[in-house]
Structure 1
Amino acid sequence: MHTSPATRRIGRAAAAALAALLAATACSSQGGSADVAKTVVPTVDAEDNNPQPLENIKDGGELREPLQQWITQWNPYQVDGNYGDAVEIMGYVEAKIFRVDAKGAYHPVPEYLVSAEVTSTSPQVVTYKLNPKAVWSDGTPLSYRDFEAVWKASNGKDPAYNLADPAGYEQISGVEQGADAGEVKVTFSEPYADWQSLFRPLLPASGLSTPQAFNEGWIEKVPTFGGPFVVSTIDKTAQTITLTPNPRWWGPKPKLDRITFRVLDAAAITQSYLNNEIDFASAGTASSYGQLKDAKDSVIRTGTPWDEVHISFGSNGALADQKVRQALGRALDRASLIKIANKGVPIEFKPLDNHLFMTNQNGYKANSGDWATYDPATAKKWLDEAGWKDSGGTLSKDGQPLELHYVMSDGSNQTQVDLASAVQNMLQQVGVKLTIDKVPSKEYFTKYIDQGKFDLASWRNTDSFPLSKTVALFRAPQGDNVFGNYSKLSTPEIDSLLRKAAGTLDPAQAAALYNQADTKIWELGHTVELYQRPSIVAIRKGLANYGASSLADVVITSVGWQK
């Protein structure tokens, strides 16, 4: 199950950030099992989105998009709302105060910020000067109170706020009005390098001021808007959501007069695109690429976003033992698993040997070492050392067999099934019985992954950029809040390294700390990374300023149909 259609930039949230931020793995081979030559090279640090000046774009028109699941929680700071589709839409209807370009650099959005800069380093103080025209849909001007409300709800000090990720906000010591009502001063108790990633989007204080408003006030509705579009209709029966231009919007008028989202099962998206019912579809699977590459009135666009596919280990039962998890890492043949996913797709999927950096990011190092080297003999040895003894081809301990469960969505495509079956066979070779449990697709994340109810599972983390957004994926849980660390596996050393890296202003020093943390994550037996997933999408011909990006945000006011 994907959290967003394909791999476009969706608000830069971490896994959901980043809890954002989750999607199912692998690629389908149905209808396209024959391999194809790896002849397509995806764009790197560029935007494959048919860039056009505004004068070349028609006024009006509709963009039709698929939704992978119905959006219940709209607050992206709340743990249930920080996932792909919701974050993408909230970036269109709320105050996204910074925009990221194709090289990953942040820029203040002039509709919201006249300027934003570090005005002191000891302590670190960031001063924001607001655009005086910026107002919420109820007419209230944007102010320091909105920044303050986001901070207080997201800093982790009040457990009643069921937040997605306190990273960055927990480093803030105060938010206050500056020289006048249009100036905001944010003071940090310790340095935070990725301060530009905070308050994105900025939400109104009225919707965050109490735990009840934060947790429940955004369920099935968006109470206040601050972006170029508003959510004009939410039709749960028809499973459609419609955005229209914000009548109070003070910036450049959007080119589109409507964006319509419709919930579609992953398997139905390709056919809906071929039926001209939607304008965007993933072509990243053998099946979808085979059907979409020659579709009428369509083009294929490619890119290299922050998007990874992995297999995560749980932390219950036998997997509470690090030695067992390490053994499973040696039992998996990553090259074969990647080959399964890559079959029938024109881009080569290369192994990913880092949990935090993508292969096209500055600072990337291959840190997997021997932890992800296929070595069944060593896997058997380590399992034996962990007390799991061979009893007729299967392993047991204290009279109990070593039986694990691979949890996957019942909406999984054939290659996801093939990948799970391959894992099952690999573990069988070292004496581990693995049962594949298919669960309802609508419950896959909410009742299983989010709750840590799995032994093995595979999904995607997308848009964990900047790197501080990855902290939530591996930090220690606090009570019932696991942030984005659904395996619930961490160590004080990993926590310390990640936090230190996030507070290091020098990029080279920060990269060194992140890589130290990554080496420890491999050793922990938390996750076996498979590959960085390229963006391969089918786009309706004539759609401008929209497509397969690398690190860049969509400028939704510039999206439209070419004249």
Structure 2
Amino acid sequence: MRARLALPVALVAALSVAATACQSSSGKKAAGPDEKDAPKAASAAVDYNPQPYDKIKDGGTYTTAGTFDDQGNPFNVNATLTAARVWAWYNADAITYSPTGTVQYNPDYYSDVKVAVVGGNQQVTLTINPKATFNDGTPIDWTAIRATWQANNGSNKAFDASSTDGYDQITSVEKGENAKQAVIHFKGVNASWSTLFTTFLHPKAATVGNFNKAYLKKAHPEWGAGPYTVSQWDTHSGDITFVRNPKWWGRKGKLDKRVYVNLETTAATNAFKNGQLDYTSAVDAESLKQLKGLKGTEIRSGGSPFEYSLYFNTKSSVLSDPAVRKAVEESVDRSQIAKIQFQGLDYREPLPGSAVLYSFQKGYRDNLSAVLTYSPAEARKTLDAAGWKPGPDGVRTKNGRKLEVGYTLLGDEPLSKATAGAFAAMLKPVGVRLVVRKADEADFSRIISDRKFDLFLSGNRSMDPFGARYLCDFYCSDRDSNITGAGTPALDKEIRATTRIADLDQQVAATNKVEREALKQYAFLPLYSGPSTYAVKKGLANVGATIFYNPLPETVGWQK
């Protein structure tokens, strides 16, 4: 899955993003002083103290910043990365990926997996561990797989599903040799099918009402399964404590407790320094400076499957004009934003050119540079041609209206404010006035779902390596997850055709071609990824910069 971050830019410490970077549109551009020496690909390094299960102590507590999200169902369109991470501590982690993206089946859930193609159509047979049971006593069987498919396949529009891609290619989910076997039939072949059932829903959670609303500020541990379960969730503070699940049938969790404490970025840094946290993100040069060199602390840093982008609300009055959107994109020098984001950090990366693939992945292409050039001069020509005339105060006008574009800024963090100021300074010379509108961090979900913005900087985190699968989430005109509202039915058709390509290399090539067309909507501007950098107490195992790897909860703990 690709989970949207709950907070933008530098406010994502609890979500384990570190320093961030912005870059300039590719093509014929004015390269920043650091950009000329940038590597050809972003870092794919990992750094998380990998340790086998038997090398981890029994007992102990692991505490980080984080909280239960407004929408706790990770399949819901309004769920964020916070929801996905908290969910994984008390629900099934049935399929995970290695740091490089190799599929890993968890035998505590799927004791056998078979994939076959019959008559051109793919068939996946999941044999479920006979001991697998939800916490309320309901057996985990083929009905959970069917319920997850039915809630997410798009046939019932009442489900607020995050992504129907892949699920809508399944024609049926049937009982196999017994109730503990699910046979999944596809129309055609789906090369990334594993992303669909990395976890699953309790059948009771897969009704429309429960799918949309049951997990609103509620955990429902009785519908969960795994080595840990919810012990305490303080709805006032947002703090959550997980303890070992007495109903778990697999390898027991090594930790006595896993604790999330609801803290913001600066508070999390101070809490780590005071010994209250075992792990926190170094989100910028200042926090890294404070965290580096602390006694008993390691700094773990590596590549990042995150990407931050500038979203354009095409339904807002001013940005409904494609020429304005194009001019804004032509005016943004991302390499200069990068200097702000990376000040004081020894990190460089190439400018991102795709919403769905990272430069360290096979098949990646810089699709943005094929359709966009950073050029304020071109931006002026674009606005001239669209009838936006320079005004006496430097702000362009058309039909008596000033060219003012809103930029929604969450919180009051200095790096975020500096980024907003840089955008304003870049747009001013071409005749666009950027109006910064401040909002509370808690309003993130409402701003996104209600499209209460003109321009908004937010990010996504890839939970698996199959980026081509998520093209529709960003660019399809009929997809709620496409918060820009851009796209056309014809483009939707081209995008969906890519999901039916069986060969992964061919699928990626087709995805690159279609994404170049989608980027011509000028509603989505990839900005930066940055490294993943964390301060971690020495001895903490299987935690840190992991790229696509999400360690199983029972393997997280303190090294012997």
1:178 aligned onto 2:176: yes
TM-fit CA distance, 1:44 = 5.0
SS at match of 1:93: coil
Distance between the aligned counterparts of 1:235 and 1:511, measured in 2?
44
Equivalent residue runs for 1:110-189 within 5 Å: 110-121=107-118, 122-189=120-187
Q: What is the identity percentage for the equivalent residue pairs of Structure 1 and Structure 2? A: 31
> For the residues of structure 2 that align with 1:218 and 1:529, how far apart are their CA atoms?
31
- The yes-or-no answer on 1:310 pairing with 2:294 is no
1:286 and 2:256 aligned = no
Distance (whole Å) between structure 1 residues aligned to residue 440 and residue 472 of structure 2: 26
CA contact (8 A) 1:338 1:351 kept: no
Partner of 1:9: none
2:212 is paired with a residue of what secondary structure?
Answer: helix
In the alignment, what sits opposite 1:53?
52
Hey, what does 1:351 align to over in structure 2?
351
Aligned to 2:369, what secondary structure does the other structure show?
Answer: coil
Does the Cα contact within 8 Å between 1:27 and 1:415 map onto a contact in 2?
no
1:482-521 mapped onto 2 (5 Å cutoff): 482-521=479-518
Residue among 523, 531, 534 paired with 1:534: 531
Q: What is the Cα deviation at residue 26 of structure 1?
A: 4.8
Aligned partner of 1:105 in structure 2 is: 102
Structure 1 residue 249 displacement after superposition: 0.9
Corresponding letter in the other structure for 2:499: A
Q: Does structure 2 retain, via aligned residues, the 8 Å contact 1:254–1:557?
A: yes
For residue 145 of structure 2, what is the amino acid of its counterpart? F
TM-score by length of 2: 0.90
- Contact 2:68–2:83 at 8 Å: present in 1 too? no
CA distance in 2, matches of 1:78, 1:548: 26
Partner of 1:431: 431
Alpha-carbon distance between aligned partners in 2 of 1:518 and 1:59, rounded to the nearest angstrom: 48
Q: Is the 8 A contact 1:342 1:349 kept in 2?
A: no
1:357 CA drift (Å): 0.9
Residues 1:152 and 1:436: Cα distance change in structure 2 (over 3 Å): same
Alignment partner, residue 397 of structure 1: 398
Q: Distance in 1 between matches of 2:68 and 2:482?
A: 23
1:199 to 169, 192, 197: 197
CA distance in 2, matches of 1:174, 1:200: 18
* Cα distance in structure 2, aligned partners of 1:228 and 1:245: 6
Call closer, same or farther: CA 1:493–1:287 in 2, change over 3 Å.
farther
Relative to structure 1, is the Cα distance of residues 536 and 100 closer, same or farther in structure 2, using a 3 angstrom cutoff? same
Q: Give the superposition deviation at 1:317.
A: 1.2
| CA offsets 1:376-434 (integer angstroms, 9 cap, x no match) | 111011011112111222111111111110001024x2121111101101111100111
User: 1:549 deviation in Å?
Assistant: 0.7
SS of residue matched to 2:197: coil
Q: How do 1:149-298 residues align onto structure 2 when only pairs under 5 Å count?
A: 149-208=147-206, 210-219=207-216, 220-222=218-220, 223-298=222-297
CA shift, 1:174, in A, is 0.8
1:334 corresponds to 2:334: yes
**Structure 1 position 272, deviation (Å):** 1.1
Confirm or deny: 8 A CA contact 1:325 1:526 kept in the other structure: yes
* Matched position secondary structure for 2:319: helix
Change (3 A) 1:103 1:127: same
The residue identity in structure 1 corresponding to 2:140 is L
Structure 1 equivalent of residue 86 of structure 2: 89
Q: In the alignment, which residue of structure 2 is the partner of 1:415?
A: 415
1:149-176 deviation line (CA, Å, top 9, x unaligned): 1111111121222222111111111111
Return 320-329 or 254-263, whichever deviates more.
Answer: 320-329
Q: SS state of the match for residue 104, structure 1?
A: coil
Amino acid at match of 1:397: K
Contact 1:302 1:537 in 2 (8 A): yes
Q: Which amino acid aligns with 2:399?
A: D
Determine the structure 1 residue equivalent to 2:365.
Answer: 365
Return closer, same or farther for 1:242/1:40 CA change in 2, 3 Å cut-off.
Answer: farther
Structure 1 segments unaligned to the other structure (5+ residues): 1-12
- Say whether the 8 Å CA contact 1:104–1:552 is kept in structure 2: yes
State how far apart, in whole Å, the 1-side matches of 2:460 and 2:177 are.
41
Give the SS at the match of 1:320: coil
Structure 1 position 114, deviation (Å): 1.7
User: In structure 1, what is the Cα distance between the partners aligned to 2:102 and 2:346?
Assistant: 29
> Is 1:372–1:528's contact at 8 Å kept on the other side of the alignment?
no
AA at the equivalent of 1:193: A
- Deviation per residue, 1:286-341 (Å, 9 max, x gap): 11111111122111111213111221212111211222211111111111111111
What is the SS of the residue equivalent to 2:64?
strand
Q: How does 1:540-555 map to 2 (within 5 A)?
A: 540-555=537-552
What is the alpha-carbon root mean square deviation over aligned residues?
Answer: 2.3
- Give, in angstroms, the shift of residue 218 of structure 1: 2.4
How far apart, CA to CA, are the structure 2 residues paired with 1:509 and 1:54?
Answer: 38
- What is the rounded CA distance, in whole Å, between the counterparts of 1:147 and 1:74 in structure 2? 19
Are the counterparts in 1 of residues 5 and 81 from structure 2 also a CA contact under 8 Å? Answer: yes
Partners of 2:348 and 2:56 in 1: CA distance: 34
Higher alpha-carbon deviation: 316-325 or 496-505 = 496-505
Letter in 2 for 1:406: Y
Q: Which moved more, 1:460-469 or 1:377-386?
A: 460-469
Letter in 1 for 2:506: Q
Q: 1:45 Cα shift?
A: 4.7
- For 1:99 and 1:366, how far apart are their aligned partners in 2? 28
| Deviation readout 1:174-220 (Å, 9 max, x if unpaired) | 11101222211111134322110112211211221x21122222231
Give the secondary structure class of the aligned counterpart of 2:223. coil
Give the structure 1 partner of residue 449 of structure 2: 450
CA contact (8 A) 2:63 2:277 kept: yes
CA distance in 1, matches of 2:450, 2:213: 20
May I ask how many residue pairs the two structures share in their alignment?
532
Q: Letter of the aligned partner of 1:550 in structure 2?
A: I
Match of 2:319 in 1: 319
Q: Residue 71 of structure 1: CA displacement?
A: 2.0
Cα distance in 2 between the residues matched to 1:201 and 1:452: 29
Gaps of 5+ in 2: 13-18, 20-33
* Superposed displacement of residue 21, structure 1: 3.9
Q: Decide which moves more: 376-385 or 110-119.
A: 110-119
Give the Cα–Cα distance (whole angstroms) in 2 for the partners of residues 506 and 328 of structure 1.
Answer: 37
